[in-house]
C-alpha cells in the first residue's frame, strides 16, 4: 500500500496540467487516457477546468479493443484512415487544442500481430494527420505525454512481485522520477529542474558543434554531423505565443537533430525497445550517408525492419538526445519497457522525423527549406536507447577543435 497515494495522485494530475501542458484560460484540451486510467484522467479534467479550460475532450484508449482490431479486423481497414477521424484532428488543429496523453499499456500488447498490418496503419494514419503532427512537432500548441501503470505492464517490470505489489512498485517509481513525494512541492522542483536543463542547453549551443563521435564497448562507432544552425533543447518548450510546457513527464534529455544525410557507422542499442506492441532486443543499425543500410536484432527484427520502411524518411535519423548514465531514472535500476521512461535513462537517437525547432527558424520554414537546413522528414519517429556506462561522445567544432561531451557515460561538463 502506497502512503499518501491519493495526495500523490492529485499532485501528479496538477503537475501534468500546470507544468506538462500548462493549460491556459479558454483553451480546449484533448485528453487521451487508457480506460484503466480513469481515476487520474478525472483528476486531470478537474485540474484543467480549474485552470479555466473551455472544454476537455476525452478520447479513451482500450488495449483489449486495439488488440482485437489488429488480430481480427478486416484487412482493408488498416490502409484506410477514416475521413471523420481526419476531420477530428483538423478540428483540434483549428482550435489550437492542448494535447495531453496518458500512456498505460502492455509493452507486448500487439505481440503476434502481422507487422504488415501495423505498418499499413501507421502509414495511413501518419499521412492523414500529417498537418496535425507537423504542428505538434513545431510546438504550435502545448502537448505532453505521461503514464499510468496497468497490471500487465507492472508485472513485466516487476515479474517477481504479485500483481498488487507490482502496481504499487511501478506507481512508486513513476512518482519518484516525476519528483512527486506528496509534499505539494513537485511543481517547484520541476521549475528548478527546467532551469538547470536550460543552463546545460546554453553551454552546448555555445559550442556549435559540427559533429559528434559516439563509441562504446558494445561496438558503437558512429559519427553524427549536425546542421549548421542546430539548436539544443530540453526540459521545457514554448509555443509561438510564448506558453511554456514540458512535452515529456518525466524528462532528463537534451536533444537536437542530426544532419539527415550526415550519419555514418554502426550504433548498438543499449536497451530493449518496445515497438508497436512488441519487444525488439539486442539490435544494431548501420548507416551510410545518413541512411540506415542494414539492421540486425536477436528478437523482433521483422518488426524493426517494418518500422524503418514506413517511408523513406524512416531510414534516417531525426533526433540525437543526451542523457547522463547517472540520472534519476537510470539510478532507479529499472527497465520500464516504455520509451517515455527508458529514453530518459539513456542517450538515444530516433529514426524518422526531426523536430523543426532543432534548427534556428525551422518552425517557420517550408518542408523543402527544412530539408535543405538538414532536418529529416517522416511520418515516423521511433526512439531507441544507446547510452552505456562507458559511452564516449566527442564533439568537433567548426574550427576542428575536439571537445569531450560525454566521458564514461556522463556529461564531461
Whether residues 151 and 96 share a domain: the answer is yes
Predicted pLDDT at 299: 97
Predicted pLDDT at 398: 96
The domain boundary, picked from 139, 157, 177, lies at 177
Residue 343 reports pLDDT greater than 90 = yes
Predicted pLDDT at 134: 94
Query: Would you state the cell numbers that stand for residue 353, as one nine-digit string?
Result: 522525423
Whether residues 265 and 123 share a domain: the answer is no
CA-based nearest residue to 56, from 16, 27, 35, 84: 27
Whether residues 163 and 249 share a domain: the answer is no
Q: Does any domain span residue 211?
A: yes
pLDDT digits (tens, 9 = 90+) for 198-242: 999 999 999 999 999 999 999 999 999 999 999 999 999 999 999
Q: Does any domain span residue 108?
A: yes
Query: Alpha helices of 261-360 — where are they, by DSSP H?
Result: 301-308, 339-342
Percent with pLDDT over 70 in the chain: 100
Q: Does any domain span residue 142?
A: yes
pLDDT category at 277 given cuts 50, 70, 90 is confident
Predicted pLDDT at 276: 86
CATH number of the domain where residue 35 is located: 3.40.1830.10
Whether residues 322 and 376 share a domain: the answer is yes
Query: Would you state the cell numbers that stand for residue 15, as one nine-digit string?
Result: 503537475
Residue 361 reports pLDDT greater than 90 = yes
Cα 62 from Cα 220, distance rounded (Å): 38
Whether residues 149 and 211 share a domain: the answer is no
Q: Does any domain span residue 194?
A: no
User: What is the residue-wise DSSP string for 91-148?
Assistant: HHHHHT-EEEEEE---TTTTTTS-HHHHHHHHHHHHHHTHHHHHHHHTTSS-EEEEE-
Q: Does any domain span residue 31?
A: yes
Whether residues 273 and 166 share a domain: the answer is no
Percent with pLDDT over 90 in the chain: 99
Residue 1 reports pLDDT greater than 90 = no
Q: What is the 3-state secondary structure (H, E, C) of 220-281?
A: CEEEEECCCCECCEECEEECCCCCEECCECCCCCEEECCCCCCEEEEEECCCCEEECCEEEE
Whether residue 233 is preceded by a cis peptide bond, meaning omega within 30 degrees of 0, is no
Predicted pLDDT at 371: 97
| Phi and psi, residue 151, nearest 5° | -55, -45
Whether residues 226 and 173 share a domain: the answer is no
Whether residues 256 and 338 share a domain: the answer is yes
Contact 8, 180 (CB under 8 A): yes
Q: Does residue 215 sit in helix, strand or coil?
A: strand
Q: Does residue 71 sit in helix, strand or coil?
A: helix
Rounded to 10 deg, the angle between the 83-95 and 115-128 helix axes is 50
Whether residues 246 and 160 share a domain: the answer is no
What is the separation of C-alpha 243 from the centre of its chain, rounded to a whole number of angstroms? Answer: 20
Tell me how many domains the chain contains. 2
Domain that holds residue 273: 207-411
The whole model's pTM is what? 0.91
- For the CA atoms of 164, 166, 172, 175, what is the dihedral angle to 10 degrees? -100
Non-local (6+) Cβ contacts of 314 within 8 A are 307, 308, 351, 352, 378, 380, 382
pLDDT, averaged across the chain: 96
146-157: burial string, b at 16+ Cβ within 10 Å, e else:
bbbbbebbbbbb
pLDDT category at 347 given cuts 50, 70, 90 is very high
Q: Does any domain span residue 335?
A: yes
pLDDT digits (tens, 9 = 90+) for 87-103: 999 999 999 999 999 99
Q: Does any domain span residue 200?
A: no
Predicted pLDDT at 214: 98
Whether residues 248 and 126 share a domain: the answer is no
Q: Does any domain span residue 105?
A: yes
pLDDT category at 315 given cuts 50, 70, 90 is very high
Bridge-partner residues for 118, per DSSP?
none
Kindly state the average pLDDT of the residues 56-83. 96
Q: Which residue has the cell 477530428?
A: 88
State the Cα angle at 97 between 96 and 103, rounded to 5°. 140
CA-based nearest residue to 259, from 343, 361, 357, 359: 359
Whether residues 147 and 47 share a domain: the answer is yes
Kindly state the average pLDDT of the residues 173-183. 95
> What's the half-sphere exposure (Cβ side, CA atoms, 13 Å) at 238?
6
Q: Which residue has the cell 518496445?
A: 274
Whether residues 39 and 157 share a domain: the answer is yes
Amino acid at each position: 500500500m502506497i502512503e499518501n497515494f491519493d495526495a500523490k495522485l492529485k499532485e501528479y494530475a496538477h503537475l501534468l496540467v500546470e507544468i506538462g501542458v500548462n493549460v491556459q484560460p479558454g483553451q480546449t484540451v484533448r485528453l487521451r487516457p487508457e480506460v484503466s486510467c480513469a481515476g487520474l484522467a478525472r483528476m486531470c479534467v478537474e485540474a484543467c477546468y480549474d485552470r479555466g479550460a473551455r472544454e476537455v475532450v476525452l478520447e479513451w484508449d482500450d488495449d483489449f479493443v486495439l488488440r482485437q482490431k489488429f488480430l481480427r479486423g478486416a484487412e482493408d481497414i488498416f490502409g484506410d484512415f477514416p475521413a471523420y477521424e481526419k476531420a477530428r484532428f483538423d478540428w483540434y488543429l483549428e482550435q489550437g487544442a492542448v494535447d495531453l496523453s496518458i500512456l498505460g499499456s502492455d509493452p507486448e500488447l500487439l505481440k503476434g500481430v502481422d507487422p504488415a498490418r501495423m505498418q499499413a496503419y501507421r502509414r495511413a494514419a501518419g499521412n492523414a494527420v500529417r498537418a496535425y503532427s507537423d504542428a505538434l512537432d513545431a510546438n504550435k500548441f502545448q502537448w505532453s505525454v505521461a503514464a499510468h501503470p496497468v497490471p500487465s505492464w507492472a508485472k513485466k517490470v516487476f515479474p517477481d512481485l504479485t500483481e498488487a505489489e507490482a502496481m504499487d512498485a511501478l506507481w512508486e517509481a513513476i512518482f519518484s522520477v516525476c519528483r512527486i513525494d506528496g509534499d505539494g512541492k513537485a511543481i517547484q522542483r520541476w521549475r528548478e529542474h527546467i532551469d538547470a536543463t536550460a543552463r546545460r542547453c546554453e553551454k552546448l549551443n555555445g559550442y556549435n558543434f559540427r559533429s559528434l563521435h559516439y563509441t562504446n564497448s558494445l561496438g558503437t562507432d558512429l559519427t553524427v554531423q549536425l546542421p549548421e544552425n542546430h539548436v539544443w533543447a530540453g526540459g521545457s518548450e514554448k509555443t509561438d505565443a510564448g506558453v511554456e510546457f514540458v512535452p515529456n513527464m518525466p524528462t532528463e534529455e537534451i536533444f537536437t537533430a542530426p544532419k539527415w544525410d550526415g550519419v555514418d557507422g554502426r550504433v548498438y542499442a543499449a536497451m530493449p525497445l518496445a515497438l508497436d506492441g512488441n519487444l525488439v532486443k539486442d539490435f544494431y543499425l548501420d548507416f551510410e550517408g545518413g541512411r540506415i543500410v542494414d539492421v540486425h536484432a536477436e528478437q523482433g527484427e521483422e518488426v524493426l525492419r517494418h518500422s524503418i520502411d514506413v517511408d523513406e524518411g524512416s531510414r534516417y535519423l531525426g533526433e540525437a538526445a543526451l542523457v547522463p548514465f547517472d540520472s534519476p531514472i537510470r539510478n532507479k535500476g529499472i527497465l520500464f519497457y516504455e520509451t517515455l521512461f527508458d529514453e530518459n535513462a539513456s542517450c538515444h537517437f530516433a529514426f524518422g522525423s526531426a523536430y523543426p525547432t532543432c534548427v534556428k527558424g525551422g518552425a517557420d520554414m517550408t518542408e523543402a527549406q527544412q530539408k535543405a537546413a538538414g532536418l529529416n522528414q517522416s511520418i515516423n519517429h521511433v526512439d531507441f536507447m544507446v547510452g552505456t556506462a562507458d559511452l564516449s561522445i566527442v564533439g568537433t567544432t567548426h574550427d576542428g577543435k575536439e571537445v569531450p561531451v560525454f566521458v564514461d557515460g556522463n556529461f564531461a561538463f
